[in-house]
Amino acid sequence: METIEVTNDVSAVEAVTPDQAAHPQADNTQSHNESTPVDTPAPAQTAPPSEAEKPKKPAPLLKESRAVPRKLFSGRAKVAHDKFSWSGRVLDLSLHGFSAIFDDPIRVGTSCSVSCDIFSAGITHHFVSSALAIQSVLVSGKGFRVGFQFQRLSDSSREVIQQLVKAP
């Protein structure tokens, strides 16, 4: 029976390179204090990332597509089409249209009669027009934001709207 002696003395341990480990017959008599050059393989060449792996660039900021600026307002809108009618809260107004929040959607493309009361500087301004629903979007927890484009705006209504959007 053979006895094996185990010690905690690491001073007798020799450094072994991968090449020496692969060829045990080679001379391993170097001292552990001498440095042995080790051939390390070059880093693996990686292929350029595919389109899916490339980091996404932030989307460019969208430009305002409106022909004229809009202005935020508070007011009421009453909209009618055939035998249907809706009441909503005006959000903004421009010379070309307005948007309002309604409890129910209004189908895009619906031609409507609108009557609006806009509150500004302690005064209620009233105008009427025909308008086309050009956008109808569900706004979480608030209803449907519907955008309208004026179709036939009377001179008196145009004057009221011009005064409102030009006011400071």
Residue 150 predicted with pLDDT over 60? yes
Whether 120 contacts 127, CB under 8 Å: no
Q: Domain 71-166: give its CATH code.
A: 2.40.10.220
* Per-residue confidence (pLDDT) for residue 167, from 0 to 100: 80
Residue among 132, 140, 142 at smallest CA distance from 79: 132
**pLDDT 10s digits, 68-125:** 778 999 999 999 999 999 999 999 999 999 999 999 999 999 999 999 999 998 999 9
What's the token pair of residue 141? 């927890």
Name the 3-class secondary structure at 127. strand
Beta bridge partners of 148: 98, 133
Answer yes or no: pTM beyond 0.85.
no
- In whole angstroms, give the CA distance from residue 47 to residue 49: 6
* Per-residue confidence (pLDDT) for residue 63, from 0 to 100: 47
Beta bridge partners of 124: 119
